[in-house]
Amino acid sequence: MRKRDRFLTGILLILIGVSIGTLVALYTINDDLAPLSEVRYTEVKKSESPFFEDEELADIDPRFVFKTIASTVTPSVVYIETIIPVSEDEGRSSNFWNRVIPRRARTVGSGVLITKDGYILTNNHVIEDAVEKGIKVVLNDKREFPAKIVGLDPSTDLAVIKIDGNDHSAITVGNSESVDVGEWVLAIGNPFRLRSTVTAGIVSALSRDVQIIDDNFRIESFIQTDAAINKGNSGGALVNTSGQLVGINTAIASQSGSYQGYGFAVPVNLAMKVATDLIEFGEVRRALLGVSIASVDYNRAVDIGLDEVKGVEIIVITEDGAADVAGLELGDVILKVNGVEVNESNQLQEKIAIVRPGEKVQLTIWREGEEFIQSVELKMLEQQQINDLVGIPDIPEEEEAEPEVFELEVDFHEFDLGFRVIEVPTQNGSTNHMIISKVYKYSEAWNRGLKKNQKIISVNEIEVEDLESLKELIDENLNKNKAVTIEVLDEDNARGYIELKDN
């Protein structure tokens, strides 16, 4: 046997010996010298207590209070079902059963309990067309109540209804003046019939005028939020991180009809003024300053010597109105109302609207380079003034006048940019008036700020004489430049220039 083979055989014998020795040791080991460990199931520790209490989390980030806010506020937000009549078209109206049993539809919305005895604040458009006994309210605990209408205010799209009971979960009302852009808010309502839905977002902007209320005396100074608001949220609550009501959800800006990042709410200070009037008087008693106004833009600020673009200018003063009596003048710029800055016309309207007639407001006025404070006692908007503005004839109650019928040929045209113009003949037979009778939401005209009832004066500095010339001028400029500039005059004789583009 070779030396190498003998070496390998020796190693193999050694390994075999070691293995046999190990096996013998395992079988003959003394338990007392090497005891085996006893295996047990591990005990799992459970606890219902959070690592951080809600109060501690709230100190870290306001979002951690959302759970508490939702549980506190949700019982105050109600689900509203409204039965409304459905108008029949000509083909259906001849059907016998449609005449015997009128067609009806059911709409849904939201509301907020503002008192324990059942007064509910909601939107006018949620319940305005309700048939008799056609409003049902469902609370968060699923109890159902019939509701009656207390009052409506189309100018702010608000309404108050009432249900029975004396121990309802009323919401805590906050102060919309303290709301800031960027702060967290929650929207609570019933979108798409989904009861008690809570969404969160921030305040995106304040004092938004988005042209959604169809009323001659409309007041739009909305809180804009990116908290998801959809159909059915109307009338629901917008609350801050203290669980206080700061707005009534009213509308969404969307081409699809669903949430696209923009929602709007009526500030609670205005909403509660309206609600209080409706509950106390059955109508809104609107304070009147007696002026027509326009926001100050950059060019106007330069012209009148303001050091920055701010304030609202008085362009018309009503004789013997509140402003006239207080000594205000044309060209005065209102900078503040009761110490709060106003830089847009709708901001001033809102600040006056939350004050009752007969009360005084402190206006900070800028006039010819000087700033001063003027106290003004507001008057009340009378029915006669409403009639004058909307063209309703004043007929004495004791007389029943036969309606006078006018035969007037009015031509109109729908423009692809999203607006309709009617041609109104003048009494003296001179150049006819071109009046914008409708602006379609989310169209180019709507987005650029064209408004209903504005009068078209010129197109690209060429005066408009009739509807045909208006169509020709617009078509010519759109074909040539893909854009057109329209000069308009509003109901207060304020002049403006609006550029429309053919995208």
Does 264 share its domain with 300?
no
Does 336 share its domain with 270?
no
Q: For residues 83 and 105, is the Cβ–Cβ distance under 8 A?
A: yes
- Collect all residues with Cβ–Cβ distance below 8 Å to 107 and sequence separation of at least 6: 81, 82, 84, 126
Whether 204 sits among the annotated catalytic residues: the reply is no
Whether 234 sits among the annotated catalytic residues: the reply is yes
Give the phi and the psi of residue 271 in degrees, each rounded to 5: -60, -40
Q: Residue 53 pLDDT > 90, yes or no?
A: no
Q: Which CATH number characterizes residue 86's domain?
A: 2.40.10.10
Measured distance CA(159)–CA(428) in Å, rounded: 44
Q: Is residue 474 part of a domain?
A: yes
Q: Please state whether beta strands 172-173 and 244-252 pair in parallel, antiparallel, or not at all (unpaired).
A: parallel
Set 234, 292, 295, 345: catalytic member: 234
Which residue in 169, 151, 162, 179 sits closest to 266, CA to CA? 179
Q: Is residue 23 part of a domain?
A: no
Q: Residue 30 pLDDT > 70, yes or no?
A: no
Give the orientation angle of helix 268-281 with respect to helix 345-353, to 10 degrees: 40
Does 480 share its domain with 459?
yes
Which residue in 491, 496, 487, 502 sits closest to 415, CA to CA? 502
Does 187 share its domain with 269?
yes
pLDDT digits 0-9 by tens, 295-324: 888 888 888 888 889 899 998 888 888 999
Does 96 share its domain with 195?
no
Q: Where a domain ends, among 364, 383, 402?
A: 383
What type of residue is 93? S
Measured distance CA(341)–CA(146) in Å, rounded: 43
Q: Is residue 20 part of a domain?
A: no
Query: Band of the pLDDT at 393, cuts 50, 70, 90?
Result: very low
Measured distance CA(49)–CA(42) in Å, rounded: 22
Neighbours of 92 (CB within 10 A): 13
Q: For residues 317 and 328, is the Cβ–Cβ distance under 8 A?
A: yes
Q: Which CATH number characterizes residue 338's domain?
A: 2.30.42.10
Q: Where a domain ends, among 127, 162, 197?
A: 162
Set 125, 153, 196, 207: catalytic member: 125
Q: Is residue 40 part of a domain?
A: no
Q: Residue 381 pLDDT > 80, yes or no?
A: no
Q: Is residue 34 part of a domain?
A: no
pLDDT digits 0-9 by tens, 229-272: 877 788 899 999 888 999 999 876 554 555 566 788 999 999 99
Write down the pTM of the prediction: 0.63
Whether 125 sits among the annotated catalytic residues: the reply is yes
Does 136 share its domain with 194?
no
Does 319 share its domain with 365?
yes
Q: Where a domain ends, among 260, 281, 302?
A: 281
Q: Is residue 67 part of a domain?
A: no
Number of domains making up the chain:
4
Set 157, 226, 277, 332: catalytic member: 157
Show the domain range for 142: 76-162
Does 276 share its domain with 327?
no
Does 214 share its domain with 265?
yes
